[in-house]
Amino acid sequence: MGVLRLGVACAVVAACADANGTVTLTETTSTALTFGTTVACSDTGSGNTRDNTWYRAYALADYAGVVGAFHVTRVSFAVQEASASMPVEVVVGTYAGALDTDTLDMSLVAPLVAATVTPPDTTGHTGEIVDVSIDADIPAGGTFVVSIAEPDMDDAGGLMYIGATTSGETHRGYISSTICNAPTPETTVQAGGTGQIIIDVAGLH
């Protein structure tokens, strides 16, 4: 089940732990959303979103505070806008490829777990984060990919734009869309985004 909360900041390339020992891995300097900097395949007339999948790849070696295996308990992503949204699928999988390439090689992703969430209507709001409970184990020193996939919402009259920030990122974010002729995940910069998509991962180690 997803929970809507306000974004909070966490230093990039740091393992930020809360009072319960839960560690948050982030690749953006801030979760403060910058409206209008995201990228998505959408209908230019209605604004309804088509099929979109956004990705971030993480390397546990980047986070000095993470020792040993990492147990993922939550994935969080920003929402710039959502209206009559359909269920969105969140997938976590290990990744055998390198980070920061121009495209992600999905043949090197081994899915571990998937969960779904329907983002609440957020039109006109900024800085909101949707939390999704996840149960996945990443081996010590491992690399993994998180994807946020939405179906084609055009016929249903719905939309969901992932949120982005202009605060900067340590690794590239990616997007793919079959309808917009980009079936292979490419960087959000290549796709025309001016911000960095906000996807964070929380867990225990």
State yes or no: pLDDT of 5 exceeds 60. Answer: no
3-state SS record for 111-150: EEEEEEECCCCCCCCCCEEEEEEEEEEECCCCEEEEEEEE
Q: Which of the 8 DSSP states describes residue 169?
A: B
Is 50 exceeded by the pLDDT of residue 63? Answer: yes
pLDDT digits over 176-193, tens only?
Answer: 999 999 999 999 999 999
- Give the pLDDT score at 8: 39
b/e 176-197 (16+ beta carbons within 10 angstroms → b) = bbeeeebeebbbbbebebebbb
Q: Distance (Å, rounded) from C-alpha 153 to C-alpha 164? A: 20
Inter-residue contact 4 to 128 (CB < 8 Å): yes
Higher pLDDT, 32 or 124: 32
Run of H or E residues at 95: strand 88-95
CA of residue 29 relative to chain centroid, distance: 14
User: What per-residue confidence (pLDDT) applies to 128?
Assistant: 87
How much is the pLDDT for 190?
Answer: 96
Task: Measure the CA–CA gap between 100 and 118, rounded to whole angstroms.
Answer: 29
So what's the pLDDT on residue 65?
83
Q: Supply the pLDDT for residue 192.
A: 96
Give per-residue pLDDT as tens, 129-169. 999 999 999 999 999 999 999 999 999 999 999 999 999 99
Residue 85: other Cβ atoms inside 10 A: 24
Per the structure, the complete domain to which residue 157 belongs is given by 2-204
| pLDDT, the chain, mean | 90
Task: Kindly tell me if the per-residue pLDDT of 71 is higher than 70.
Answer: yes
For residue 76, the Cα-to-chain-centroid distance in whole angstroms is 7
123 vs 69, more confident: 69
Block residue for tokens 């390439």: 101
127 pLDDT band, cuts 50/70/90, is low
pTM of the model: 0.91
Domains held by the chain: number: 1
